[in-house]
Amino acid sequence: MPNAEMTALAWRWIVLAFVTLGWWGAQPTQTYAADTFNCPTQQFSKTTKLTFRQHYPDFVEVRQTTSIKVPEQSKGLTDDLTLGADTADYQNAMYCLLHGNSTPPVTFGDWHPEWRSASSQVTNDDSLVTVQYESWNLIKDSGGFEVGPWVVGVRPGQAWEVDLHTPGAPGAPRGDALWDSIEVDPGGLELEISDASAVSSTHEDGSRKWLGSPDITVKVVPPWALVPSGHATWIVTLGLVSWWICASAVIAVSVWRFKKTAKNPDGEAAGALAKTALEWAALSTALGLTLLLLLHNPSATANRWRALIGISSGLTLVLLARPWLPLAQGSDDRGLPKRKKAVVNATLAAATIGLLVILVPDLFNLSPQLMPESSPPATGIVGLALLDLSIVWLWLAAIVAWAWCFVREGDLSTFFGDGESEHPEPSADSEFEHPAPSGDGESKNRLRPLIAIGATLFGAAVVVVACRWLSFHLMWERANWAGEASIIFGTDYRSYLSRQLADFASGGPQWVYSYTWMLAGIALVALLHLSFKRQETLELMRPEKVDLLLVAAIFAIVVALRGVMFAGRSAMVYGLWLPLNMVALYATVKVGRRWSVLYRANRRAGHNCVVKELSKPEDYNRLMKKALKCHDLLHRLHLLDRGHAEEKSRDQLEHKLHSLHQWRPEGCSQDCLPDEVSVVDVALSLGPDQYWWGNARKAARWAALFGILPSVATAWYEHVYDRHWTLTLSAPTGIPDTVGTFLVQEVSFTGAGLVLGALWRILPGERGPMRAFSLFIAWLVPIGVVAGVAPGLIVGAELDRAVLTALLMLMVLTVTSMWMDTDTFRRERQHWPSRLGLLVSIYQVHGLSGQIAYLTAQMVAVLTIWQKISGK
């Protein structure tokens, strides 16, 4: 199908989708009960119980059970209660029993309607109708939380105020509403109670019960992690600002070496990448501060300017990244003008749609502030949805464009390829060169990836905007259960929908920007790769100096810091975790390398002749052949000990092994292998590739693969498990954040694998799992130091979650390291039916049994902490 026809068809579907959304959003909602309440004023027998439970570290569940007994002669109220929970009369009757004739107005953003339990029931016994009503809510942030006749007021820096509705005639005294009993169970939290002249009792579980109609004030002391202080917003803000400053400083220090050599012929590519990295460091900090200022301007009159800044910044980011350039270096640029034209036109078209809504709001029947004072027509809702879609698409495209830029300039297009690691010195037969295109057909083919990426981003933007509408719709439906939402909020459905869409025009960029930390990680990996390609042959054995700094920065930004999101007081020093983790890894490497195999061999030899010899390809291959022969002899000796071989003499095998142990590299005056170290150990410490970058790339690929299941489990626990799914549906970006959590964990595991592979030769241990354990220690040390020095900065739940994430990382790296060991002897795979069989032969059964037990212990630790966090 020609491109023009495809474009026309796509636009028809887009217009149809948004017209449908506008029509759907413009439909009136039920209002039958809100203005027809005429509740009876007589007293009924009522009991109620409110229970708090903190099952999880990130929210508290509050549940209520209310029992009401209504005489049959109560003006037909009993007939309404027996009609069924889905009928309007039943809902009207229940609203009267729980809230009475009046409902105080509230603010939409601060009001959290309850979830009604399906276990509520109505029973008819003789002359009484008994209603058992149950509902619940989840307290995660500030605001008013409705739970049946109760309202829990949550304010920063204060105890939670628990109020009980007093159904009855308007203006009636509080005591006119008869409650036979009132009970509050804090569930382990602390109660603050102002007692009245009512009879009360305290149970063993800490719950408090009153009889009669007491005039009481109940307050609950919340967990600090949920409501830290009145300055919580500024604490988090300062923490994020400190992170921007530290991350930008790390990038600036990392590129200094490249900037100094940018004038050299071989440093042209490095200089270009250094310039791009510095540009992003400055842009990210400036954008972060700009968006931060928008957060503290909740005025509706600023929506227009906030949306304008969102569109202009997104457009600028996309164009500065130049995503029309080819992904691989050395590619032919014959189709460059067409790609540039396509990208620029698509970006300008997206920006024009949003600017049209902002600059000509009358076209969509909107006010200049984009906040309608009355119920807007369908065109207004469509216009605001298009504005949100435009902004979100531009910002998503900006992230992809800058990632594309770093991958291109850092020569990372083959990072997940299957080939061997590249030689540092570029040649005329470079693997990045491609044949010139043959004509227009090839040019069209080069446009297809850009079209596919743009369409995918458009679909993602539609999902994000649709989820924003869905969260609002579900909240309105809960509040409008008895048709009272328009009275509670003081406006109708369409007006509030348009306000939510208008607010998301500024909230969308802030949400997308929270994921731009990945770009800092990609930039550092690109710098690390170019640094590797510019090194001398001897330096390719292990990362040193600036390379070690880059590896530490990748560990801090991609692995340790992003794997655990701190909250509360610890967010105040959020940026300080970055240098703290870098120092911890650097110290772990410097201290632990003394126990590495290569360091022990060099120490025995007296100087660095071992590393010098292994830096030569022919000597490296010679050592690997010795290791393969040694491995074969060890396996035959193992079979002989178990009686499964027919060797004539054990002494012959031991003599051959002894001769292989006598390894004297060129320049060494004596054998350099300690008695407890074999040639196999040296080969395993070298890893599957001759150069450290090849080890890093292989380990990153395996970690990404083995991290899929833990990433799914993490996303499932944080967004789906039990009550989390309820919060996910209620959050404006809950469903996209579920996907985002999976991607964040995958990037974190991939970065951990890259760090493990890069440091493979200087980490302590003779087998891979011991090297993985060193990174685990490097992650835990800063957490332990802060928890010991300033325990108030990390609360118990945060500490448990941090350790759980570190254990998941350890599990992934342990399996990755075992697979790296098998990759080292991949030439023997043809002699083994499976990789597991090869692993058994390498670890000689007893060693494998220990590794399996070690991995099992990790799983038990993960399940134990998981059980503690979930409270199950």
Provide the pLDDT for residue 224. Answer: 62
Q: Are 756 and 589 in contact (CB under 8 A)?
A: no
For the chain, what is the mean pLDDT?
A: 76
Tell which residue, 779, 802, 798, 710, has the closest CA to residue 750: 710
pLDDT for 143-176, tens place per residue?
889 898 888 988 877 788 888 876 543 344 444 4
239: exposed, middle or buried (Cβ count in 10 Å: 0-12, 13-18, 19+): buried
**Residues 210, 184: Cα–Cα separation, whole Å:** 9
Structure tokens at 543: 């990362």
Q: Are 129 and 81 in contact (CB under 8 A)?
A: yes
**Residues 711, 178: Cα–Cα separation, whole Å:** 52
Residue 219 phi/psi, 5-degree rounding, is: -130, 145
Structure tokens at 765: 């241990």
DSSP string, 414-434: TTT-SSPPPPSS--TT-TT--
Structure tokens at 136: 């619940």
Of 345 and 597, more confident: 345
- Least confident piece of the model among 82-86, 509-513, 536-540, 681-685: 536-540
Give, to the nearest 10 degrees, the angle between helix 268-295 and helix 232-260: 170
Tell which residue, 379, 378, 360, has the closest CA to residue 368: 360
719: exposed, middle or buried (Cβ count in 10 Å: 0-12, 13-18, 19+): buried
**Residues 278, 275: Cα–Cα separation, whole Å:** 5
pLDDT for 68-80, tens place per residue?
888 876 566 777 7
Tell which residue, 163, 173, 265, has the closest CA to residue 220: 163
Percent of the chain topping pLDDT 70: 67
**Residues 51, 63: Cα–Cα separation, whole Å:** 5
Residue 163 in 3-state DSSP?
A: strand
**Residues 304, 302: Cα–Cα separation, whole Å:** 5
Structure tokens at 172: 């009636």
Asked whether the predicted pLDDT for residue 21 surpasses 60, the reply is no
Asked whether the predicted pLDDT for residue 497 surpasses 60, the reply is yes
pLDDT for 516-562, tens place per residue?
888 989 999 999 998 888 776 655 677 888 889 899 999 988 888 76
Label the pairing between strands 150-154 and 115-116: unpaired
Q: In the beta sheet, which residues pair with residue 161?
A: 153, 219
Which range is most confident: 411-415, 516-520, 836-840, 860-864? 516-520
Q: Alpha helix locations (H) across 642-733?
A: 650-661, 679-686, 692-706, 708-719, 724-730
Provide the pLDDT for residue 295. Answer: 59
CB atoms within 10 A of CB 695: 26
Provide the pLDDT for residue 801. Answer: 75
**Residues 212, 192: Cα–Cα separation, whole Å:** 20
Q: What type of residue is 772?
A: A
Q: In angstroms, how far is the first alpha carbon of the chain from the final one?
A: 56
Q: Are 248 and 284 in contact (CB under 8 A)?
A: yes
Question: Sheet of 111-112: strands edge to edge?
Answer: 111-112, 143-147, 150-154, 160-164, 217-221, 190-194
**Residues 677, 461: Cα–Cα separation, whole Å:** 56
pLDDT for 173-197, tens place per residue?
444 456 788 888 888 888 777 655 5
pLDDT for 350-389, tens place per residue?
999 999 999 888 888 888 877 766 777 888 889 999 999 9
Provide the pLDDT for residue 35. Answer: 42
Q: Are 391 and 307 in contact (CB under 8 A)?
A: yes
Structure tokens at 166: 């007093």
DSSP string, 274-314: HHHHHHHHHHHHHHHHHHHHHHT---GGGHHHHHHHHHHHH
